[in-house]
Each structure stands twice: as C-alpha cells, then as structure tokens.
C-alpha cells in the first residue's frame, strides 16, 4: 500500500483511525511490510507483501486464493486480447469511462480483472477480497497510483462507511455463507446518491442445477483440498478436450459439456483454442471448488434492494445471472 492511502482505511472493529507503524521496509511511498494499529481499540493488522491484511487466508475462500493465483491473468483483457471484462464492466455498471475524482469500492476482486477496468476510469479504486487472490490482483494492479488492494471480509470492512461514490460486487454474494447478510453489508458503504451494482448467480430449475451446475458432485469436491481438486480438474479437462470439441458442435453442446464437467466457452467468447482451454480449467474448478454456492431469484434480490432502502432499483437477468442496480438515498431523507 501507499502511505497516502492510509486515510481510506479504518479499524474494522471500531471504525476508528489506523496508524501506520513498524514499517519494516519501504519502496518510495509504498509500504512493503508494517503494522496498522487502531488509535482507539489498539487492534493491530499486518501489512504483508504490500497488502494490508485484516483476515487470515485460512478461510472458506481458500479455493479462490488458489484459483486466482494459478489463473492470475487468464481473464484479463490485457492478457487475452479480447474485451470480455471491459465489455461486461461498462455494460453491467452503466458507468461512464471517465470517473476521475470519484471513489469506487470493489468487493470480492478475485484476480482483479475488473480492478483493471475500474482503474482505467481514473477513479480511486479500493479493492478487496477475502482470499489470497489479492496477491494476484496486487501483481497486476498494485503498482497503480489510484489502486489500493486490501485483504478483508465484506462483513467487516476496514473502510469508511458512507464514503464511496460507487460500489460493485460481481460473482461474490452466492459464495458467502449468508447471502442476504452479505448483500446488506454493501449499501452502508455508499455516500448519498452513490451507485450500487451487484450480480449474483440465478437459481435454475432443480435438474439444471443438478446436471449442469455440478450439484451432484459438489458435496464431494468442495471438501477436497484445493490443490488436489485443481490437479484433478486440470488433467480431466485436458483429457476431455478432444471429445468436448466434437460435442460442442452438437445442438446444446455447450450445456452437454457442462454436464460432463467441462466449462466450454467455444462459440461464446472469441478466444484462441489455448485460452479457451485455460478458461475451461479455471471455470470447471470454480464450479466444483466453491465452498458456498447459493444462487438466488430475481424476486429475492429485488426484496433485498428494497429492504436496504435503495432508490432507482433495477433488478433483472443479465450477463452473469441476476444483475441489480440501486442508488443510496439522498442525505436529507
Ligand atoms: C467467483 S470469484 C469472483 C471474482 C471477481 N469479482 C470476478 O468476477 O472475476 C468470488 C470472489 O469472492 C470472494 N469472496 C468470498 N467471500 C468473500 C467475503 N466474505 N469478503 C470478500 N470477498 C469474498 C472470493 O475470495 C472470490 O475471489
């Protein structure tokens, strides 16, 4: 982190100011390691490899730590040459391309492919994740002057409430233990009239969930050590690839491949064969490894937006399941 970003952080326990001490090594104004101490309750949090850590990496999201460090660049547009992440970020949020002067909060960054997009707007981007995926994000985006990357839990954010102009949270909520509670933790971070944009997987009919979403095998796979499951998925997808190539040519071939546990995006994304295989390994592992996977309905997400008291609510099916948009109420309400 940079010393000048300290004012963006607060104590996750009591919301008081944090003081930076014991800087063990510095690099310009970038702090490689040190300690953040709460001036009020004295809680202390380490900075390790440039990243303030408010949680340990040994938690239910450790599969994502492995996923996003093994595939640190796979879904980056700047790696694939495609515009998949850029297209999704701007289409889904509906935000302008120039947001200089604003503060954006990204909740659950994974490898940081959307951090890259948010940073391009010129806004100050604060991005965090529960897992050690933050290390992949730091490697790609941490050098940028307008990016602060933190490891934290969305239920205990070390960030100022009522402060952010915009907040997005893509593909995260269904992977938390209590999806409603996770959702409701987001709106308080926005300043009056601030924009919220989330997406969450949509619940399909039971047999689709069972066959195409791997529900029949997840009770086993989600308990496997991530590195063991990853090795199995890697070998399996590579072995199945020639067969999946033929199946993909059939009507509903993509869905048949998913039922066979190969996340095959041929015909969906315009990527090279090698990249499609990389995406298949990444997304098959994602499907089978997430400890929690709790898709929702449009009605439920709509209810949560209303419960949070947001204005201009729009909830609909979209790119990654269900998309929801809303605005924090004006200050005088
Ligand atoms: C499917 S990934 C999505 C990553 C990224 N948003 C993307 O779309 O590429 C879900 C991410 O949510 C993170 N996550 C899960 N629970 C979280 C929590 N309580 N607080 C913050 N992040 C969390 C995981 O670590 C994981 O990186």
Strand partners, 107: 128
- Distance from residue 64's CA to the centre of ligand 1 (Å): 7
| Cα–Cα distance, 10 to 158 (Å, whole number) | 5
Domain with CATH 3.40.50.150 in the chain: 56-202+296-327
Cα(186) to centroid of ligand 1, in Å?
A: 14
pLDDT the model gives residue 320: 85
CA of 67 to the centre of ligand 1 (A): 11
In this prediction, residues 222-227 reach a mean pLDDT of 97
Secondary structure of the chain as H, E, C letters = CEHHHHHHEECCCCCCEEEEEEEEEEECCEEEEEEEEECCCCCEEEEECCEEECCCCCCCCHHHHHHHHHCCCCCCHHHHCCCHHHHHHHHHHCCCCCCCCCEEEEECCCCCHHHHHHHHCCCEEEEEECCCCHHHHHHHHCCCCCEEEEECECCECCECCCCEEEEEEECCHHHCCCHHHHHHCCHHHEEEEEEEEEEECECCCHHHHHHCCCCCCHHHHCCCCHHHHHHHHHHHHHHHHHHHHHHCCCCCHHHHHHHCCCCCCECCECCCHHHHHHHHHHHHHHHHHCCCCCCECHHHHHHHHHHCCCEEEEEEEECCEEEEEEECCCCCC
Establish whether residue 171 lines the binding site of ligand 1, counting it when its CB lies within 6 angstroms of any ligand atom. Answer: yes
* Per-residue pLDDT, 125: 98
- Specify the ligand 1 atom closest to the Cα of 286: 1
Average pLDDT over residues 133-160: 97
pLDDT tens for 268-311 read 888 899 999 999 999 999 999 999 999 999 999 999 999 999 99
Ligand 1 proximity of 50 Cβ (cutoff 6 Å): no
245 burial (CB, 10 Å; 0-12 / 13-18 / 19+) is: middle
Distance, in Å, from the CA atom of 137 to the CA atom of 261, rounded to the nearest integer, reads 27
pLDDT of residue 161 exceeding 90: yes
Stretch 173-197: mean pLDDT, rounded?
98
Share of the chain above pLDDT 90, in %: 87
Task: Find out whether the beta carbon of 290 lies less than 6 Å from any atom of ligand 1.
Answer: no
Q: Which of 93, 175, 285 to mutate to test the pocket of ligand 1 (most atoms within 8 A of CB)?
A: 175
Q: To the nearest whole number, what is the mean pLDDT of the chain?
A: 95
For ligand 1, the distance from its centroid to the CA atom of residue 171, given in whole angstroms, is 7
Ligand 1 contact via 285 beta carbon (within 6 Å): no
Q: Is the pLDDT of residue 25 over 80?
A: no
Residue 24 pLDDT? 78
pLDDT band at residue 26 using 50, 70 and 90 as cut-offs: low
The predicted pLDDT at position 266 comes to 86
pLDDT of residue 332: 67
173 alpha carbon – ligand 1 mean position (Å): 8
- Write the residue with the smallest CA distance to atom 4 of ligand 1: 110
What is the band of 331 on the pLDDT scale with cuts at 50, 70, 90?
Answer: confident
Does the structure show a pLDDT above 80 at 333? no
Q: 175 CA to middle of ligand 1, Å?
A: 7
Give 209's pLDDT tier (boundaries 50, 70, 90).
confident
Q: What is the CATH number of domain 56-202+296-327?
A: 3.40.50.150
Query: CB of 110 closer than 6 A to ligand 1?
Result: yes
Protein residue with its CA nearest to atom 16 in ligand 1 = 176
Q: Is the CB of 60 under 6 A from ligand 1?
A: no
**pLDDT tens digits, one per residue of 49-61:** 999 999 999 999 9
CA 133 to ligand 1: nearest atom: 27
Evaluate: CB of 130 within 6 angstroms of ligand 1: yes
Query: What is the predicted pLDDT for the residue at 234?
Result: 98
Q: What is the pLDDT of residue 11?
A: 98
């Amino acid at each position: 982190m940079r010393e000048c970003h300290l004012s963006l952080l607060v104590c996750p326990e009591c919301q008081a100011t944090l003081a930076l001490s014991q800087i063990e090594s510095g690099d310009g104004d970038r702090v490689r390691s040190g300690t953040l101490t709460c001036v009020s309750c004295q809680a202390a949090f380490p900075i390790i490899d440039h990243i303030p850590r408010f949680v340990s990496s040994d938690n239910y999201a450790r599969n994502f730590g492995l996923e996003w460090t093994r595939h640190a660049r796979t879904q980056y547009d700047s790696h694939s040459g495609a515009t998949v992440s850029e297209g999704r970020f701007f289409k889904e949020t509906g935000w302008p391309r120039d947001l200089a002067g604003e503060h954006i909060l990204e909740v659950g960054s994974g490898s940081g492919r959307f951090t890259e997009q948010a940073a391009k707007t010129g806004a100050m981007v604060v991005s965090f994740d529960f897992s050690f995926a933050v290390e992949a994000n730091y490697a790609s985006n941490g050098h940028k002057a307008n990016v602060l990357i933190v490891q934290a839990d969305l239920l205990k954010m070390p960030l100022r409430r009522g402060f952010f102009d915009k907040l997005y949270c893509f593909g995260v909520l269904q992977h938390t233990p209590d999806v409603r509670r996770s959702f409701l933790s987001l709106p308080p971070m926005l300043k009056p009239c601030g924009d919220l944009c989330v997406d969450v997987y949509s619940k399909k009919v039971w047999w689709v969930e069972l066959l195409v979403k791997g529900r029949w095998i997840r009770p086993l796979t989600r308990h496997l050590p991530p590195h063991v499951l990853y090795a199995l998925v890697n070998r399996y997808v590579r072995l199945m690839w020639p067969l999946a190539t033929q199946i993909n040519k059939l009507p509903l071939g993509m869905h048949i491949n998913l039922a066979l546990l190969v996340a095959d995006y041929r015909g969906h994304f315009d990527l090279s064969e090698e990249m499609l295989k990389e995406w298949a390994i990444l997304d098959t592992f994602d499907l089978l490894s997430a400890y929690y996977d709790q898709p929702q309905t449009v009605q439920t997400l709509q209810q949560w937006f209303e419960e949070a008291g947001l204005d201009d609510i729009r909830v609909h099916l979209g790119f990654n399941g269900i998309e929801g948009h809303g605005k924090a109420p004006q200050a005088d309400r």
